[in-house]
Amino acid sequence: MSDDFLFADEVPEPEQPEQPSSHACWKVLVVDDESEVHAVTRLALSDFSFQGKNLEFLSAYSGAEAKVLIQQHPDTAIILLDVVMETDDAGLQVARYIREELINTHVRIILRTGQPGQAPERQVIVNYDINDYKSKTELTAQKLFTVVMSSLRSYRDILAIDHSRQGLEKIINASADLFSAHSMEQFIDGVLQQLTSILGCNDDALLVTSSLVASNPDEDTDPEHLVVFAGMGEFEKREGEPVTKVLDQTLLEAFYDALKSRSIVYKENYLVAYCTSKFTHGSLLYVSGLPGQITDSQKKLIELFSQNVQIAYENVQLQHEIEDTQREIVYRLSEAVEHRSIETGNHVKRVAFICYELAKAYGLSDDEAETLMFASPLHDVGKVGIPDGILNKPKRLDEREWEVMKTHAAIGYDILKNSKRTIIQAGAIIARDHHEKWDGTGYPGGKKAEDIHIYGRIAAIADVYDALRHRRCYKSAWPLNKVIQLIESESGKQFEPKLVDVFKSKVDKLEAILKKYPDSEEDDLR
């Protein structure tokens, strides 16, 4: 080894003093078969600090050891890599392994060699994905300091770009379905990640925003009611928890200051931004781990971010308002149809909740179960086309009257079928299929088994169960044991056998729904 590498003739120029972090560091892997190289490298860089973080050294004395260590420490920032070790090209094979097998493109690889003839610089730079090439004889202490500093800056910038890319990916992925609850969380998480990248927050940056629950902007927000809506770092798994249980007293005071002043509060290494909109106010954005003084342009960015998050949420609120209005109209229309008959009450509401429970137990997704629940009140909407004399006849219908009554399924389907709304489309299917029977003897189409839409199959058993358990103009309410016996006897005939089993497994929960939504205080449910 050349004596020049002992750095006896140069001392690095002092940098601006930094406060090293006690819990963070940049990992540097030294790969060389000479122990003196490891010792001297550590000595030369012993007081090195960049962005408040010191260096942590890892040592490998062969190419094989280096492969194991880099696999165990993928967050290594720099590798000081010798070429000639157990073989003449051991270092080059390590470089190839890192880039091609581990697909680690972040780590900065600095090739150091005492035998340049074994690995000509031009050839190595062209054929291997390395970031610098130094001869040990030219790598003095100052030059080593310089190359490590420049490599760390590159590594930091690469991480920032990758962090930014991940944030953008989340935003792009969420944009396709921004107005669902899940993608709204994904959207905010992505934008928060993007913001930390732009501000230059370090790896320990923590973010949390309070819940964006709608409230009256003219009223003061009670801090006790704020909860975590989205978080990163320390707050990543704290969503839904009260802020008072998540934050320490110092941070809570900063949150209260932001709420009181309705502004952005800047502290030494973190900020709390107050957010407001037409629908909400008092939501807060917390960002820590800031690298230094926030510039005016960055402050403007934070203000825009706070506004845009609220605008996005306001759009979600409007979307939910539209959906709620649509659901309410469905219920009101269904109840209007029920009021045409002598029997009034909560039939459509009970059928909706019964359908949801059966759908979930059957194995439908949350979205499908909710769609069925919101659409099921439309199952008898076709009764608007049935004459009152037939609809409210207290005696059994004759054959002609029964044929007229059966047309309500097709009438309901015709009323709803041309809608482009998901709930109305599902309502059309239910109106058409809820009187079809598993054995093919139902109406209006004589469909059989799985040709009957699952929405119709579930609504059928829910409708029959609720109707039998309540008084009608032509009958009294049936006791539960008699209803269960009838539904069991219709397994494979009127009802799908699997659904009958699901019904029996959930009957206690279904009975609770009937008790919660009775037809009247004098309900004769037995």
Do residues 442 and 490 lie in contact, with contact meaning Cβ atoms separated by under 8 Å?
no
Any catalytic annotation for residue 406?
no
Do residues 354 and 509 lie in contact, with contact meaning Cβ atoms separated by under 8 Å?
no
Is 266 inside any structural domain? yes
Residue type for position 403: E
Structure tokens at 75: 């967050």
Is 466 inside any structural domain? yes
Regarding whether 365 and 223 lie in a shared domain, the answer is no
Q: Which of 164-173, 393-402, 430-439, 511-520 has the lowest mean pLDDT?
A: 164-173
How many structural domains does the chain have?
3
pLDDT in tens, 35-49: 999 999 999 999 999
Q: Which among 351, 336, 342, 463 is positioned nearest to 395, based on CA atoms?
A: 342
- CATH number for position 428: 1.10.3210.10
308-319 mean pLDDT: 67
Q: Which domain holds residue 14?
A: 3-158
Is 324 inside any structural domain? no
What local confidence, expressed as pLDDT, does residue 388 receive?
A: 83
- CATH number for position 265: 3.30.450.40
Regarding whether 296 and 147 lie in a shared domain, the answer is no
Is 304 inside any structural domain? yes
What local confidence, expressed as pLDDT, does residue 525 receive?
A: 56
Regarding whether 413 and 370 lie in a shared domain, the answer is yes
What local confidence, expressed as pLDDT, does residue 456 receive?
A: 95
What local confidence, expressed as pLDDT, does residue 482 receive?
A: 95
What local confidence, expressed as pLDDT, does residue 290 receive?
A: 74
Give the Cα separation of 361 and 369 in Å (integer): 10
What's the pLDDT band for 238 if we cut at 50, 70, 90? confident
Regarding whether 94 and 25 lie in a shared domain, the answer is yes
Res 289 pLDDT > 90: no
Is 333 inside any structural domain? no
- CATH number for position 125: 3.40.50.2300
Is 88 inside any structural domain? yes
Regarding whether 358 and 313 lie in a shared domain, the answer is no
The residue from 158, 191, 214 where one domain ends is: 158
Regarding whether 299 and 378 lie in a shared domain, the answer is no
What's the pLDDT band for 505 if we cut at 50, 70, 90? very high
Regarding whether 154 and 180 lie in a shared domain, the answer is no
Regarding whether 234 and 128 lie in a shared domain, the answer is no
The residue from 283, 318, 353 where one domain ends is: 318
Regarding whether 439 and 466 lie in a shared domain, the answer is yes
Regarding whether 498 and 359 lie in a shared domain, the answer is yes
The residue from 107, 123, 158 where one domain ends is: 158
Considering the candidates 27, 170, 349, 383, report the single residue annotated as catalytic.
383
* Size of the chain, expressed as the number of residues it contains: 526
What's the pLDDT band for 205 if we cut at 50, 70, 90? very low
Identify each DSSP E strand in 45-158 by its residue range: 49-50, 53-60, 78-82, 108-113, 132-135
> Whole-structure pTM over 0.85, yes or no?
no
Regarding whether 92 and 229 lie in a shared domain, the answer is no
Q: Map residue 468 onto helix, strand or coil.
A: helix
Is 521 inside any structural domain? no
Regarding whether 112 and 42 lie in a shared domain, the answer is yes
Is 447 inside any structural domain? yes
481 torsion bin: left (phi>0), alpha (psi -120 to 50), beta (else): alpha
Question: In percent, how much of the chain has pLDDT > 70?
Answer: 74
